Amino acid sequence: MSDPRVTLPGLLAMKARREKITCLTAYDATFAQAVDAAEIDMLLVGDSLGMVIQGSATTLSVTIDDVVYHTRCVASAVNRSFVLADLPFMSCPTPAEAAENAARLMRAGAHAVKIEGAGPQIQITRFLSERHVPVCGHLGLLPQAVHKLGGYRVQGRDAASAQQLLTDAEALVAAGATLLVLECIPAELAAEVTARVPVPTIGIGAGPACDGQVLVLHDMLGLTRKQPGFSRNFLDGASSIQDALVRYRDAVRAGTFPAPPEGAGHP
């Protein structure tokens, strides 16, 4: 018998038991069904679809309509996995607009929404969580801020920025965030955040100490033209795509992914 549907309380229990959480992006029903069948705990309908589906250079072209559409496609095929959907660039400039767009995503089948950054997003996180919308924070490298950051670069390298990230993580959780994605930060910093906050941390290019790991599906299948240094091609040596998904799941659960060379950093 397959495992029951993954829920937020279940993810919190996994952190408490120190069981690694697995997550992959998904954008359509066919791949969502495959990822769900591999018993991946979470599916992220990410605004990364702008790059891997739409062919854009960044995620900034993705609209809320795009994410609603892809969330509906993914949710239609899922029986077990927890579905997390991105609030894309400028879809949550105010609490009221954030609430409207979060409601659209949840009506399309998302179980939680993800918001990049802190600052004003802390107020938005509180506003949504008080209205029963589960919120996942996202700290470190913020793809929606790529032009402000000057590119896809590791964040939190110096003492001041590392302290700010720790402060932001605790503030988001205090505001009601129930998950945190940590992207492209030093492994030591990710480990400290993970130890300090009571909610699960999901790392991407943030080392092995996070409570879970997420990769872009197309990266872990070796389909992207320039694979990030923190990723791994799980299709290499696998007998099928389904086998590659299972290999990813097992590597995260066993703690063999990410390995030391697969640390923080973007190409």
Please give the positions annotated as active site: 183
CB-based contacts of 117, cutoff 8 Å, min separation 6:
138, 139, 142, 144, 145
Strands 21-25 and 212-215 come out as parallel
**What is the DSSP-derived secondary structure letter of residue 241?**
H
Residue type (1 letter), 60: L
Nearest to 247 by CA among 48, 15, 2, 39: 39
Task: Report the DSSP beta bridge partners of residue 212.
Answer: 21, 202
Smallest CA-to-CA distance from 128 within 193, 175, 58 is with: 175
**Under 8 Å CB-to-CB from 83, ≥6 apart: which residues?**
42, 43, 45, 71, 74, 75, 109, 110, 111, 112
Q: Classify residue 237 as exposed, middle or buried by CB count within 10 Å of its CB (0-12, 13-18, 19+).
A: exposed
CA distance 241 to 226: 19
Relative to beta strand 212-215, strand 82-86 is unpaired
